[in-house]
């Protein structure tokens, strides 16, 4: 009876044709992600002595995305094409752990990058103090932050389990509706790994756009004609140079 329940849990809940389509889409995305991120890492390695502080975040984003591609896509593709999860409960935990770890790390990296860009453009007195060692420390903090939330279900604050459609694994959403501890983890995950990071990203880039717009207006008020246009373009170029300096 127990074996039957496990098999039923890991059986796909969607049609076989839909699973094949999903598997093919995963394959295309996986190949594109692997090739793109590998090229970025190779180029970064070749010019490692010329890297600017903010570029470390792009490298870390490529590392986390590549990690997700290598650990998740092969399992997801083969399971989708087989119309069921093939690898049992322990690998299901590993799959879910990697998904949360690399996913939160990628979002944390984007959040840190947006914050650093905002400091450099909107608050240059602080942003210009940013150095390589600061970037490395922030990246380490991003991995630690992701590891805390990824390890928590393994310590039974929250639970990992199969996705409702049956061919992948993630947070056990059903347990969140019946277990207070699991629900508290889901709420914390939603707030600290989605709402706050997205809020910081939106706020940072909004401030950048406002700063660029105000700088452009200031130039247009003091100069005119071709000189105005060239100065506006110079400001725009300078802004984007600062983003990666």
* Residue pLDDT, tens place only, 81-121: 999 999 989 999 999 999 999 999 999 999 999 999 898 88
> Among 29, 163, 6, 40, which residue's Cα sits nearest to residue 95?
163
Tell me the per-residue pLDDT of 11-25, one tens digit each, with 9 for 90 and over.
Answer: 888 899 999 999 999
Kindly state the percentage of the chain with pLDDT values over 70.
Answer: 85
Residue 155 has pLDDT above 80, yes or no: yes
pLDDT value of residue 2? 36
pLDDT value of residue 179? 87
Side-chain-side CA neighbours of residue 145 (13 Å): 21
Averaged pLDDT of the chain: 86
Q: For residue 33, name the pLDDT band (cuts at 50, 70, 90).
A: very high
Q: Report d(CA 134, CA 124) in Å as an integer.
A: 16
Q: For residue 226, name the pLDDT band (cuts at 50, 70, 90).
A: low
Average pLDDT over residues 187-213: 94
pLDDT value of residue 203? 96
Token match 């247009």: residue? Answer: 220
Average pLDDT over residues 121-126: 84
Nearest-5° angle of CA 72, CA 136, CA 55?
Answer: 75
- Catalogue the long-range contacts made by 24-33 (C-beta closer than 8 Å, 24 or more residues apart): 26/73, 26/76, 26/77, 26/80, 27/73, 27/77, 29/73, 30/69, 30/73, 30/74, 30/77, 33/65, 33/66, 33/68, 33/69, 33/73
Burial call 142-163: b when 16+ CB within 10 Å, e when fewer: bbebbeebbebbeeeebbbbbb
Residue 143 has pLDDT above 90, yes or no: yes
User: Helices 55-82 & 88-122, crossing angle to 10 degrees?
Assistant: 150
Q: Which residues contact 241 (CB under 8 A, 6 or more apart)?
A: none
End-to-end CA distance of the chain: 61
> Among 105, 20, 107, 43, which residue's Cα sits nearest to residue 71?
105
Q: For residue 223, name the pLDDT band (cuts at 50, 70, 90).
A: low
Average pLDDT over residues 184-212: 94
**Domains of the chain in sequence order:** 2-204 (1.20.1070.10)
More confident of the two residues 137 and 1: 137
Residue 165 has pLDDT above 80, yes or no: yes
Find out whether 68 and 103 touch, Cβ atoms under 8 Å: yes
Q: CA-CA distances (angstroms) from residue 210 to 6, 136, 205?
A: 54, 29, 9
Q: Which residues contact 182 (CB under 8 A, 6 or more apart)?
A: 157, 158, 159, 172, 175, 176
Residue 138 has pLDDT above 90, yes or no: yes
Average pLDDT over residues 230-237: 54
Find out whether 175 and 159 touch, Cβ atoms under 8 Å: yes
pTM comes to 0.86
């Amino acid at each position: 009876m127990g074996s039957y329940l496990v098999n039923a849990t890991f059986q796909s809940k969607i049609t076989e044709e839909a699973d094949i389509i999903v598997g093919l889409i995963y394959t295309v995305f996986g190949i594109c992600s692997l090739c793109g991120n590998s090229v970025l890492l190779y180029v970064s390695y070749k010019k490692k002595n010329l890297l600017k502080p903010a570029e470390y975040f792009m490298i870390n984003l490529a590392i986390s995305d590549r990690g997700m591609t290598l650990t998740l896509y092969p399992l997801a593709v083969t399971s989708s094409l087989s119309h069921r999860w093939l690898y049992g409960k322990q690998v299901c935990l590993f799959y879910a752990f990697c998904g949360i770890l690399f996913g939160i790390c990628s979002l944390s990296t984007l959040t840190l990058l947006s914050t650093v860009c905002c400091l450099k453009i909107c608050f240059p007195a602080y942003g210009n103090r940013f150095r390589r060692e600061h970037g490395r420390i922030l990246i380490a903090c991003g991995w630690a932050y992701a590891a805390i939330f990824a390890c928590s279900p393994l310590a039974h604050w929250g639970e990992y389990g199969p996705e409702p459609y049956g061919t992948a694994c993630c947070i056990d959403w059903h347990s969140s509706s019946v277990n207070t501890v699991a629900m508290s983890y889901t709420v914390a995950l939603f707030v600290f790994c989605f709402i706050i990071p997205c809020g910081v990203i939106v706020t940072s880039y909004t401030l950048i756009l406002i700063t660029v717009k105000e700088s452009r207006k200031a130039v247009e008020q003091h100069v005119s004609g071709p000189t105005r246009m060239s100065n506006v373009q110079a400001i725009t170029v300078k802004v984007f140079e600062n983003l990666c300096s």
